[in-house]
A and B are shown apart, each in its own frame.
Chain A
Amino acid sequence: MKKVAFKTLGCRLNLFETDSLASEVSKAAYEIVDFGKEADVYVINTCTVTNQSDHKSRQVIKQTQKLNKDALTIVTGCMATNYKEKLEQNDSIDYVVDNNHKTSILSLIDAHYKGEIVKPDAYETDLFAYEAAEKTFHTRAMIKIQDGCDNFCTFCIIPKVRGRAVSRSADAIFENIKKVIGFGFKEVVLTGVNLGRYQYEDYDFEALVEAILDIPGDFRVRISSIEPDGYTDSFFRLFKHPKLCPHMHICLQSGSDEILLKMRRMYTTRVFEDMAKKLQASADDFNLTTDIIVGFPGESGEDFHQSMAMADRIGFGHIHTFKYSVRKGTRAERMENHLPESIKNERSKLIRELSESHKLAYRKSMLGKKQRVLVEKIEDNGFASGLGEHYIPIIIEEEGLKTNTFYDVSIVGYETYEEPILLAKRI
């Protein structure tokens, strides 16, 4: 039996797509092995959102050569789409499969081993032809609801590599969720490139989430990274529903209105801050997390100060800090006043320090409170670890617990490892 190893870089959408591909491959006559092991086939689902993502993707491609230089190497995902022609000239890569043709990877592997000469582009394009995955690399089931983006933020390469915004049919999403619940998953994570723009027939994003919450079963729903686009008060009220996790990751990118305008973001700082307040009021201890880009072209010290001040006022539970990196073909590439790396590094450090301080304060505020932990892993010491509904890592100090199981706990302490982790006792 041929061995196939998968590696995913980047976003949850990539995770979903890899999970589905791996599930299909495992149902066929192949064995899935860990990526660090020798395999006959390596599938690398790449990311290109920053220079660093490109670098990591290239490193992983090189790694396959060390693991087994005779293996079949398939590179897919956003970097594969962005640099397709260049990668096709790389002798260590057998197939470069763009995002449009990613669903064809199993057919491609089958055809290859049958000795057929195939081109990935010859397969049909279907952005949603991903089967619900029964066995995945994660405890949580990612659900793809949407693909592509039409916002064209000036820094972002994603519209080029993921294409125009398109929404999956609501019925297909409901079916996918029912299937994964049937497989035993306890948490579904709604994923896409620009979730808030979901629109399929009468369903907008809010109506879709509401309908998903009505699906019977013992599971919870989490919304992955989303843009701050026009949510109504009725959307915020959805967080009263016990199935919807009180956590959202909404991309701020900058606390300066001038920089937001240059980024072509479709909101102002005031609109964002109003929304943040409503979200934080929508459920107890709501965990609002965000992305901030530092060092965007022309970002002055004052602009950066405004980002720091806004982040401090809102008190994000976590800030994912990105140093601006040029993406070829974007509008920002052609802007003036690109900043030196030293300034980006300095600003990045300051934002990260602020983030750590708020994160610790937020997590300490959970002491004595209750959480419902979905156990993802049993640690070496026998204790169980997982995430609470607020997306905080929690260790339950008890042996003999099971993975993929909900446990109601009380937070009794915290440890600061690489990040603050809460300690809990079962109620």
Chain B
Amino acid sequence: MQQNNLHRLHDICHLTDSTYILRIERNNLEFQPGQHILLGIAGTYEQREYSIYSGTDDTYLEVLVKEVEDGIVSKKLKRMKPGEMLNIEGPVGFFTLSQEVLEQKKKLLFVATGTGIAPFHSMIKSIPDLNYSLIHGTRYGHESYGQSDYDPERYICCSSRDKTGDYQGRVSAYLKEQQFDADTYCYFCGNFNMIKDAMGIMEQKGISQEKLHTEVYF
């Protein structure tokens, strides 16, 4: 059932020509890091799912949006002005860190492509002392959104179309070259092909399926 939960757009922060952060009035919306919302422009029918980018203690709710070339919603959202209203449903989703993982301070591998970094940004901002490594696949190095928010020792940008990332090549190539502890809990968020490839690679490296978690962006 669609519910009309209206939130005011506070501002838009443009990161690249096609990627931007929507900063939205929170209206006491509580969420777990890793969850997503269904977002649309107030008064319209179309909604899209976006992972929450901001931390649980942040004043505003943020989502990281990539303008889709043939898309409808992402283009309209980009043209919005501060003060205009958005319709939000949620939060929903199960791409979150379990109590067991948090309490036992498990070793975490976060793997993202593009704006798939959003849930990890939220997790890292929300939960102090996470024992994580974050592998971010982008086309170009300048698409490493929010890089300064991560511990440089824990963050690798894999840029596939230029040499400005920490690693030149796809995320899957990077993963193949690395060794991982079998007790690593892996979280993948981003495009379908990356997730499919990365799951296969990690299984070959001896990580059991129970430790592989996915959030697919299409």
Contacts and interface: CB of A to CB of B under 8 A. Distances in A.
User: Is B truly associated with A?
Assistant: yes
Interface of A: 81, 98-100, 148, 150-152, 154, 159-164, 257-258, 261-262, 264, 266, 268, 270-271, 329, 331, 334-335
A160 B2 CA distance: 6
B1 A271 contact: no
A154 B1 CA distance: 17
Contact of B1 (A99, A150, A152): A99
B214 A261 contact: yes
Contacts of B46: 329
A67 B197 CA distance: 58
Contacts of B92: 150, 152, 159, 164
A258 B214 CA distance: 13
A160 B218 contact: no
Nearest to B49: A152
Contacts of B199: 257, 268
A160 B196 contact: no
Nearest to B2: A160
A154 B192 contact: no
A151 B195 CA distance: 18
A271 B214 CA distance: 14
A257 B46 CA distance: 29
Contacts of A81: 1
B21 to A, nearest CB: 23
A148 B1 CA distance: 9
B127 interface: no
5 contacts: A148-B1, A152-B92, A160-B1, A257-B196, A261-B192
Given A81-B1, A154-B218, A161-B1, A261 B196 contact: yes
Nearest to A274: B209
A152 B93 contact: yes
Main secondary structure of the interface of B (DSSP, over half): mixed
B181 to A, nearest CB: 21
B34 to A, nearest CB: 13
Nearest to B35: A150
Nearest to A125: B1
A150 B196 contact: no
Contacts of A257: 196, 199
Nearest to B46: A329
B180 interface: no
Nearest to A147: B1
Interface residues of B, number: 21
B1 A261 contact: no
B102 interface: no
B132 to A, nearest CB: 22
B88 to A, nearest CB: 12
Given A152-B93, A271-B209, A264 B1 contact: no
B209 A270 contact: yes
Contact of A262 (B89, B90, B192, B210): B192
Contacts of A334: 218
Contacts of B192: 261-262
A264 B196 contact: no
Contact of A162 (B1, B195, B210, B218): B1
A268 B209 contact: yes
Contacts of A164: 1, 89-90, 92
B49 to A, nearest CB: 7
Contact of A335 (B1, B45, B218): B218
Given A152-B49, A154-B218, A261-B192, A266 B1 contact: no
A100 B2 CA distance: 10
A264 B94 contact: no
Contacts of A160: 1-2
Contact of A98 (B1, B49, B93): B1
Contact of A266 (B3, B49, B89, B94): B94
A323 B31 CA distance: 36
B104 to A, nearest CB: 18
A230 to B, nearest CB: 9
B13 interface: no
A81 B3 CA distance: 12
- Nearest first, the 3 closest Cβ-Cβ pairs linking A and B are A163-B1, A150-B92, A100-B1
B216 interface: yes
A147 to B, nearest CB: 10
